[in-house]
Structure 1
Amino acid sequence: MQLVSYTRLGRTGFGARVEGGIVDLTGRLAAGVITLKQAIEAGLLDTARTFAAGRRAEFTEADIALLPVIPDAGKILCVGLNYETHRAETKRPDAKYPTIFTRFPDTQIAHRQPILKPRVSEHLDYEAELAVVIGRGGRYISEANAMEHVAGYACYNDATIRDWQRHTFQFTPGKNFPSTGAFGPQLVTPEEVGDYTKLKITGRLNGQVMQDATLADLIFPIATLISYCSSFTPLQPGDVILTGTPGGVGDRREPPVFMKRGDVFEVDIPGVGLLVTPIDAEP
C-alpha cells in the first residue's frame, strides 16, 4: 500500500494510491483521524488497506498539493556515516555506534517542492536516503523484533549546508535550514517493499548519477538503528529515522559540486519511490 499526505480544497488530509489516482482516507477510518500520523498512531493501516481495496480513485495527484509524508513527525532522527563509501570519503574513523543527529519537522518539504539554498551559504549539498517511519512505538526494542515496528518507507533528500555543518562539532546548524528536508512522494508499507536490503538507492543531479548503492550496504542496518535509538529515547508512531547517505556527496568531490538555483535532484529507490526536488534560492 502507498499512502500520501496532502492538502486539497484548503483541507489537510491523507489517502491511499489506487489505480488511476487516490482514495481519500481523511476522517473515514475513525472519527478524528485526519492525518497519516494519526492513522499510524491508531493502528489503522490495515483498516486503510481494506477500505481502499477495490475502490475507484476519487481524484488524481493533479487535484492535490502533496505534503511531506509525515509533516508533523514528533522526532526525526538522522544517521550519519552509515555507508562505508561515505565514511571513507569523509575520512572519519570506524565507529562502534551509529552517529545520530536530529532534523526539525518544520524544515521539511514535499515531492516537487523546491529546496531553498540559504542566502548565507553557497555550500548546499545533496544526500539521497531511505526514510523509515515508525509504526509501533517502544523503548529498548530488541533487534530481533525491531522490523515489527516499521510502518513503511519513503525517499528522503537530507540536504545539508556544509559550511554551517562545520561551524561546530554538532551537525544541527547545517541540517536544519528551512526547506532543506525533502520527504516523499509516499509512504510504502513493508509488505509491498519486501526485503529492503535488495533495494537500490540512486541520487541524480540534473540527470547525472552522483550516488549509487544498495540498502544492503548500510553499516548499521535498520533493525540495529531502531534498537539503538529506542534505547536513548522512546520511539513513537510517526517518528522518522533517516538511514544515512551513500558516498558521492558533492562536498567530497574534486572540485566540489554544490546545488544551485535551477538544479534538480532526484532520489530514486525502485519499490519505494522517485523523489524530485528542484533547487531555488532563498529571497
Structure 2
Amino acid sequence: MKLVTFIHEGQTQIGAVVGDSVAVATLNIAHADSMLDFLASGQAGLEAMQNLIASGAHRLALNGVKLLAPIPRPGKLLGVGLNYADHISETGREKPEYPTFFTKQSTCVIADGQAIQVPSISEKVDYEGELALVIGNRCKNVPVEKAHDVIAGYTICNDVTVRDWQQRTPTWTLGKSFDTHGPLGPWLVTADEIVDPHNLGLKTWVDEELRQNANTGEMIFNCYDLIAYLSQVMTLEPGDVISTGTPAGVGVKMKPRGYLKAGQTVRIEIEGIGTLTNPVIAEPENFVVEPSR
C-alpha cells in the first residue's frame, strides 16, 4: 500500500493511493486521525486499510487533494553519514567502524512538490538522494534478525544540506536542519510491498542531469543494521524516520561545485517507491514555517 497524508477541503486526512484515487481512511476506519496514530495501531490498522481499499468506497481523485509528507512531523528524523563506499571515497574520509548518525530537526520536513529554499545566508545548498525507513512498532534493543519486523515502510528523503553550516559543528545538526531541507515522500510504501530494501535502484537528477546512480545494496550498514545499532541507545517509536545515507554524486564534490540554485528542480527516484520532486527557490522574505497539521 501507498499510505499518504493529505489535505482536502482544508482538512488533514490520511489514506492510501489506489491508481489515480485516494481511499480516505480518516473517519472511515479506526485510528486514522493521523499517520502516527495509524502506524501505532499496527497490523489491525493495516488490515482495516486493506479492507477499505477492497471495498472501493470513500474515494477522492488524487489530483483533487494536496499531498503532505507522509509523516509531516516525525518524532525523530535521523540521518546517516558516510554509508556508501563510493561516497566515502569521494569525500576522502575513512570507512567508519560504526554508523554515523545525526539529527535533522523535524521542522525541515516538506512534501513532494514543495520548494526547497536557498537561504539568504548561504549558497552552498546540496542535495542527497536517500532511501528512508519508517518505524512501525515501539521498540528497544532490536536484534538485526528481527529488525524487519519493526519497519512500517519506506519512503524517499532528500537530505538537503547547507555545507558551510554543516562544517561549523561536528554534530552537523544546523547544516542539516534548515527549513524546507527535509523533503519526504511522495508516500509511504508499506514494508510488505518492498521484497528487498537492499536491492533498489536510486537515482537523483538536478534538472535533466543525472547526478546520482546507485543501488541500496551498496550501503555499508543496511537498514536492519541501523535499527539494531540505534535501538541499543534509544526507544524507537511509530513514525520515527531514519534516512539511510547517500551515494556518490553530491554537488559539493563536483568541479565546478554543483550546489542547488533557484530555478532548478531536484528529482529522486527509488525503484519500488516512486519519485520525489522538489523545485528550488530563493528563501522568501519573512518566511516562517507553517505549524504542523
Instruction: Identify the TM-score tier after normalising by the shorter chain.
Output: over 0.9
Q: Deviations 1:133-181 (Å, cap 9, x if unpaired)?
A: 0011211000010011110001111100001101122200100000111
Tell me, in whole angstroms, the C-alpha distance in 1 between the residues paired with 2:282 and 2:58: 36
- Contact 2:73–2:109 (8 Å) recurs in 1: no
> What stretches of structure 2 of length at least 5 have no aligned partner?
285-293
- Contact 2:200–2:271 (8 Å) recurs in 1: yes
Alignment of 1:18-29 (within 5 A): 18-29=18-29
Tell me, in whole angstroms, the C-alpha distance in 2 between the residues paired with 1:276 and 1:65: 14
Tell me, in whole angstroms, the C-alpha distance in 2 between the residues paired with 1:273 and 1:250: 23
SS at match of 2:217: helix
| 4+ runs deviating over 4 angstroms | none
Tell me, in whole angstroms, the C-alpha distance in 2 between the residues paired with 1:278 and 1:154: 19
Q: Deviations 1:16-61 (Å, cap 9, x if unpaired)?
A: 111331110113221x531111100121123212221241572122
| Match of residue 196 from structure 1 | 197
TM-score normalised according to structure 2 size: 0.94
| Match of residue 291 from structure 2 | none
SS at match of 2:107: helix
- Contact 1:19–1:56 (8 Å) recurs in 2: no
Tell me, in whole angstroms, the C-alpha distance in 2 between the residues paired with 1:94 and 1:158: 20
Tell me, in whole angstroms, the C-alpha distance in 2 between the residues paired with 1:234 and 1:73: 14
Amino acid at match of 1:199: L
| Match of residue 211 from structure 1 | 212
Tell me, in whole angstroms, the C-alpha distance in 2 between the residues paired with 1:146 and 1:275: 26
Tell me, in whole angstroms, the C-alpha distance in 2 between the residues paired with 1:111 and 1:202: 16
| Match of residue 37 from structure 1 | 36
| Match of residue 144 from structure 1 | 145
Tell me, in whole angstroms, the C-alpha distance in 1 between the residues paired with 2:104 and 2:77: 5
> What stretches of structure 1 of length at least 5 have no aligned partner?
none
Amino acid at match of 2:18: V
What's the % identity of the aligned pairs? 38
Amino acid at match of 1:281: A
Range that drifts further, 123-132 or 69-78 = 69-78
Amino acid at match of 2:37: Q
Q: Structure 1 residue 46 and structure 2 residue 42: aligned? A: no
Q: Structure 1 residue 273 and structure 2 residue 274: aligned? A: yes
Q: Deviations 1:111-146 (Å, cap 9, x if unpaired)?
A: 000011111000010000001000112110000100
Q: CA deviation at 1:104?
A: 1.3
Tell me, in whole angstroms, the C-alpha distance in 2 between the residues paired with 1:205 and 1:25: 35
Root mean square deviation of aligned Cα: 1.1
Alignment of 1:47-196 (within 5 A): 47-55=48-56, 58-196=59-197
